[in-house]
Structure 1
Amino acid sequence: MINPTSRQITALKVLIFVLALLPFARLVAFAFLDRLGANPVEFITRNTGDWTLYFLCMTLAVTPLRKFSKWNWLIKFRRMIGLFAFFYATLHFTTFLWFDHFFDVQEMWKDVLKRPFITVGFIAFMLLIPLAVTSTNGMVRRLGGKRWLWIHRLVYLIAPLGILHYFWMKAGKHDFAQPFLYGAIVALLLALRLVWRWQGKRVRPQAA
């Protein structure tokens, strides 16, 4: 699909939307079927956290895929994928606030300040909020392209913080395989951007 029509783009958006909701639907189904395991809170927390990280990686992967494939239309899906990263991050945080602390904000703050991996995860979630709030076309117009772009570059900080949160969480069980895997993916996706930025700086003086 080199140059999809607007109808095909819309169909793909619907498909991505439905597929992105499947992990949430699975959690709901498991809850009704009593299949969340011996520790349902841990199951939900890990599952929503994992999918937050998956969607963050997918969001970062859109631009490299677009550049390598020359399919510029892929950029039309980045906003939706990014918003699903925020959706699952919100579920992840809500699970922590609700089931771990029963909406006791004071106790939650104690936990955030006491445990570094929660501190890092909380910071990453807070940084996601302005990205979600400013994701509309109207906000792009109000902020201006440059200011909007600087805000959305926060994702380059959020993704490493998410990896660090994941790494510290797994450290207690000495399970580092997945954190290293996703850390390598994020490192590669960010390194590609640095290379392209450096190449762009070299080309501009030559063109001048």
Structure 2
Amino acid sequence: MFRELTRRALKPIVFILCLIPLIWLIARGFTGNLGANPIEALIRGLGDWALRFLLITLAVTPVRIVTGWLAVARLRRMLGLYAFFYATLHMLSYVGLDHLFNWSVLWEDFVKRIYITFGVSALVLLIPLAVTSSDKIVRKIGGVVWRRLHRIVYVAAIAAVTHYFLMIKAGYTEPMIYAAVLIILFGIRLYKKWA
């Protein structure tokens, strides 16, 4: 009974927990606690959480393998969609708040600043994964095709970590941690595949 209740409660609890970073950023914005450049802080915060959720999503299978906790696998889709959600908000904040939808300036940024190119690439790679995340689509395209398509998530994660590395002007500790986590997660997947 308790195990069944825990299993049923897990998804709604995680769903609400995943909204907390957004609520926290909005609350900080309304109370004037986003620092001297609130738009930049909001964009950065949304991007940080997009990357964190992407890595958390990639960690689901290794956590299941290492711990034997099968219920965590049911959270993967929701966590992946949250990664896409935060990445989309990150991009919309950059496009709408920082550049006020000035497409010529945005295009110049995209061409001139390689970190923008990597960031946009990461988001574009996540789009087909978000679009094909429903059970109906999985049945329509087939599990084998779906699994192959969703391997793109690793390319998206590499692009996202590279975006972060190239964007930072100083203090590389955080992007190095994200890169190390990605390498470890990728290593566990490769080990599982070849073991």
TM class, shorter-chain normalised? over 0.9
Alpha-carbon distance, 1:29 to partner: 1.1
Amino acid at match of 1:4: R
Structure 2 segments unaligned to the other structure (5+ residues): none
Given that 2:40 and 2:98 are in contact with CA atoms closer than 8 Å, whether structure 1 keeps it comes out as: no
1:110, CA displacement in angstroms? Answer: 1.7
Q: What 5-or-longer segments of structure 1 have no aligned partner?
A: 200-208
Distance in structure 1 (CA, Å) of the matches to 2:187 and 2:104: 39
Separation in structure 2 between the aligned mates of residue 140 and residue 65 of structure 1, nearest angstrom: 23
Aligned pairs for 1:1-208 (under 5 A) are 4-5=3-4, 7-170=5-168, 172=169, 174-199=170-195
| Counterpart Cα distance in 2 of 1:108 and 1:150 | 32
SS at structure 1 position matched to 2:3: coil
In structure 2, what is the Cα distance between the partners aligned to 1:162 and 1:151? 18
- Which structure has the bigger radius of gyration? 1
1: CA distance, partners of 2:107 / 2:134: 31
- Write the distance in 2 (CA, Å) between the matches of 1:52 and 1:149: 22
How far does the alpha carbon of each residue in 1:99-142 deviate from its partner, in whole angstroms, 9 at most, with x for none?
A: 12211233212211110000001000000111111110011011
Report the secondary structure of 1:4's partner residue. helix
Structure 2 residue matching 1:19: 3-state secondary structure: helix
**Distance of 1:71 and 1:26 partners within structure 2:** 30
How many residue pairs match? The answer is 194
Matched letter for residue 179 of structure 1: P
Pairwise CA RMSD: 1.3
| 2:191 maps to amino acid | V
C-alpha distance in structure 1 between counterparts of 2:96 and 2:72, whole Å: 37
Query: 1: distance between equivalents of 2:172 and 2:178?
Result: 10
- In 2, distance between residues paired with 1:150 and 1:133? 15
Equivalent residue letter for 1:24: L
The 2-side partners of 1:108 and 1:147 are apart by 35
Normalised TM-score (structure 1):
0.90
Shift of 1:75: 0.5
Query: Could you tell me how far 1:70 is from its partner in structure 2?
Result: 1.4
Structure 2 partner of 1:205 = none
Give TM-score scaled by structure 2 length. Answer: 0.95
8 Å CA contact 2:84, 2:126 repeated in 1 = yes
Q: Contact 2:95–2:101 (CA<8 Å) still a contact in 1? A: yes
Identity rate, percent: 44
